[in-house]
Amino acid sequence: MMENNTIAAFHIRSNQDGIIKLNTSKMYHWHIPKFLRDDPIQRGDIVLVRTSKGKSAVLVMQVFREEIEETQKHYKRVLKVLERVSKKEKDLVH
């Protein structure tokens, strides 16, 4: 089975009292390293990623497989999962 290896996500501007404010001006992409693919990242998860300005938290909007050999695109990496979407919240996100 081919594992998802790329996420598309929005940067989180603030996260206060469970209310998340996103910067939706542009969706960015990151590579999921192999050690994070055992427990798959899902839509709605909050993950820590590398950016040109350091590290940042993002809200995952899409998870998909992208063949780097075909697209010739190289992305910065997902560092770790900060918060997983719960089963109840997952049903609301989809």
In a domain, 27, yes or no: yes
* Residue-number span of the structural domain to which 20 is assigned: 6-93
Distance from C-alpha of 72 to C-alpha of 42, rounded to nearest angstrom: 24
Q: Is residue 76 in some structural domain?
A: yes
pLDDT at residue 71, rounded to an integer: 85
For the chain, give the percent of residues with pLDDT over 90: 67
- The confidence score (pLDDT) of residue 94 equals 52
How many folded domains does the chain comprise?
1
Q: Is 70 inside a domain boundary?
A: yes
pLDDT at 92: 54
Provide the pLDDT for residue 26.
95
Instruction: Report if residue 20 sits inside a domain.
Output: yes
Q: Does 1 fall in a domain?
A: no
pLDDT beneath 50: ranges in the chain: none
Structural domain contains residue 61? yes
Instruction: Give the pLDDT of residue 21.
Output: 93
